[in-house]
């Protein structure tokens, strides 16, 4: 995934990660840029999926919930 296709929150998360991750030169376990970018993209996509707003309720269902809350408030 190209960097230009990243969402702003994905770019921000990647920047924060890069700033907080210690850089160890000549470490054989260090990830190359392409691998790191792929991981960041995958994490960003997962976050985007898990943080989707919940679908809005139909107006009728919202009215019924409001009525239920009103009745509960009146009853207590």
Report pLDDT for 24.
Answer: 56
pLDDT tens digits, 7-61: 788 888 777 777 776 665 566 677 788 888 999 999 999 988 888 777 788 899 9
Per-residue burial over 29-66, b if 16 or more Cβ lie within 10 Å, else e, is eeeeeeeebeebbeebeeeeeeeeeeeeeeeeeeeeee
How many CB atoms neighbour CB 10 within 10 A? 19
Q: Judge whether residue 4 has pLDDT over 80.
A: no
Q: How far apart are CA 59 and CA 52, in angstroms?
A: 21
Q: Is the pLDDT of residue 1 over 50?
A: no
- pLDDT at res. 66: 93
- Most distant CA pair in the chain, distance: 69
């Amino acid at each position: 995934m190209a960097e230009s296709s990243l969402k702003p929150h994905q770019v921000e998360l990647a920047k924060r990660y890069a700033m907080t991750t210690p850089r160890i030169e000549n470490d054989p376990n260090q990830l190359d840029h392409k691998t790191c970018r792929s991981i960041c993209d995958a994490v960003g996509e997962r976050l985007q999926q898990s943080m989707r707003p919940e679908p809005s309720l139909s107006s009728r269902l919202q009215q019924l919930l409001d009525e239920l809350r009103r009745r509960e408030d009146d009853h207590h």
